[in-house]
Amino acid sequence: MSIRRGITLSFDVNSLKFDQAGLLPAIVQDKASGEVVMLAYMNKTAVEKTLATKETWFWSRSRQELWHKGATSGNVQKVLEVLYDCDRDTLLVKVVQNGAACHEGYFSCFHNRIEEDGSVTVVGEKMFDPDEVYKKK
């Protein structure tokens, strides 16, 4: 059995497997609580800027532009760790999540739980009113 643990390799952003659109999914987890707060997509530039600035950058598929998370709401994500998976096609970014990650005002975007009886329960507390925050722009 080969022991790989602790071996240090060199990181090359080009070794990541981006999809046909040049993107890969990045899971964002609040390190302190362990809560998964969102998933968004990064292109090569977003990965590089996230590593360089220690704040999260994504590619917005709807707006087709680079997106500095928190630029509007003020809730930037401080990056503590960036990991990639065995297939090199997904990132896990562990952050300090200040305030709500979700544009709807929840700490986590994953606030809809599917129950056994087929109902959906909204879990998690609303931390801000999106109408108030985003109207300020």
Contacting residues toward its own copies, per CB under 8 A: 1, 3-11, 25, 27, 29, 33-36, 38-39, 51, 81-87, 90, 92, 102-104, 106, 109-115, 118-126, 129, 132
In whole angstroms, how close is the CB of 100 to its own copies at the nearest point?
11
Round to whole Å and give the CA distance between 99 and 77: 10
In whole angstroms, how close is the CB of 17 to its own copies at the nearest point?
11
Comparing CB distances to its own copies, the nearer of 121 and 137 is 121
Q: Which residue has the tokens 């059995």?
A: 1
Comparing CB distances to its own copies, the nearer of 28 and 76 is 28
Helix or strand (DSSP H, E) at 133: helix 130-135
Round to whole Å and give the CA distance between 15 and 9: 12
Three-point CA angle 68, 109, 60, nearest 5° = 35
In whole angstroms, how close is the CB of 105 to its own copies at the nearest point?
8
